[in-house]
Structure 1
Amino acid sequence: MTSQVPITGLRGRLTPNAPLGPRAWFRTGGPADWLFVPEDLDDLAHALREKPQDLPLTVLGACSNVIIRDGGIAGLVVRLARGFTEITVENDGIIAGAAALDITVAEHAAASGLAGLEFLAGIPGSIGGAIRMNAGAYGSDINAVLDWAEILTKDGVLKRLSCEELHFSYRHSELPADSIVVRVRLRATKDTADAVRARIVEIRASREASQPVRARTGGSTFRNPEGHSAWALIDDAGCRGLKLGDAQVSEKHCNFLLNLGAARSRDLEQLGETVRQKVLAKAGIELHWEIRRIGREENGQETV
């Protein structure tokens, strides 16, 4: 990494060699060459317009569904924070900044007697990440409730895309390359606040009972293959509780990886690959990662 500041005229914080591991839910991973926390939309747009074309760009949200590799992340890492957390309640929906947490949006909806967004209470992470991966749980997903998403293109141009223009599929959206979600509108319907809150309580209780929510984990590790549950395939392949150093397949929910304390990102990723191999050998089904794996190995090699 060069010590030369890659972008000038910023109002937000630009930090060289910034640790990322403490921000990640797994508590693993190396530093960002440059970590930028923009002050607001204009500040972020300026950064995108002025960024050298050859400077890699990575966007991080709540870091709940990501493995940051041990060599860190090259180039510019953008983390949306306070300037992108505003939530506005309307009669039939909610407008939320991309850095607003999913659970916070669900709770705002409940307080206003708006139904249909309760499923967000069961998804760890932020709204921007939920759009990017069409996050879903408990019978619904982003595709079912999104009206529009506003993005900044890689050139810093603000655009509003409809739900249809994002071409959602299972855990996937077709956001333009290097674009950043900044704000969204989610549809909802009227109900009593008590009824909505009760459903959120049920979802949170169900999640608490079935998932290792208090552990160092990254959420669902693999996508569910069509017609199958990833956790059942993993269990049938004998991987429940499987360990590699301090990385472990959860005994509570087989589709979760855990950092028991001293795991490295490479341990988590290697354990996941071992699980994939065992499931393929046992069931003939290839699991695909749902967790994003980004950054460099410790030797500095970039991995896709």
Structure 2
Amino acid sequence: MKLTAPQRVPLDLTHPRVMGILNVTPDSFSDGKAYDGVEAAVSHGIAMADEGAMVIDVGGESTRPGAKRVSAAEQRKRVVDVIRRLRIDLNEYHPDVWISVDTTLTAVAEPALRAGASLINDISAGREDPAMFDLAAAQSVPIVLMHMQGTPETMQRNPRYNDVVAEVQAFLLERADDAAAAGLTREQIVIDPGVGFGKTVDHNLRLLASLADFVATGHPVMLGASRKGFIGKVAESTTQQAKDRVGGTCATTTLGVWAGVSLFRVHDVRPNLQAAQVTAAIRLAQQNTGAAS
């Protein structure tokens, strides 16, 4: 399975790939203000590519619980110049590395694509801006569709499900069908169960335990569990701050690789890539042992 986009080397998803998070926001839950400014942002993007990230995900709006909305104009101001500069530098040092734009608005995604992004990461799964699917199809770029109950501002206000796995999967398949109707192929529609977005700790754990069900849909699957709050609650004595949750994040990456997840959106590239590569090698050995017996 491969992701394809104009002027980009196809992104082979037969091996697990890491997407590095590049938040150019003042208020993200884990690294707000850390990469404020074009120079700092581009430098960090290149550093993540140096560590093995095959996608750099640039976002100009925080989606932490309780976050306020950011206008399209402000998002463009934050991300477009960063993407343009980052693409130039990546072409020199890491030409195979992709850039994605993390936004729910075509008014941000379209100039980001012109600047050098090749993938749209839409946490609203096209619900906020129905033209997003048409844009992705017209530009022949893949799109990530994520599940979220409510909005970032409201999503953690008592989230409820009768069956979280079934409901999240049904939602994603419905949105994927709508994306396909706009002209995208199944391979170009990545689904993300939305760990931490309108879910309790128990909901998150159930989704993580059922990742193989999402892989079985035939769509590429992305997992974004990096430094999420549920890790702090499960391992409370060892995770005082978000940056202390690297080990827990690597555990989710390992689990995801074993389930067949293709893409991992993380803050800490090197340790998660190492976890992914070792797990993939063990999984392959298991498969080869089974085939030989």
TM > 0.5 fold call:
no
Which of the pair is proportionally richer in helix? 2
Pick the structure with greater CA Rg. Answer: 1
Structure 2 length as normaliser, TM-score? Answer: 0.30
Which of the pair is proportionally richer in strand? 1
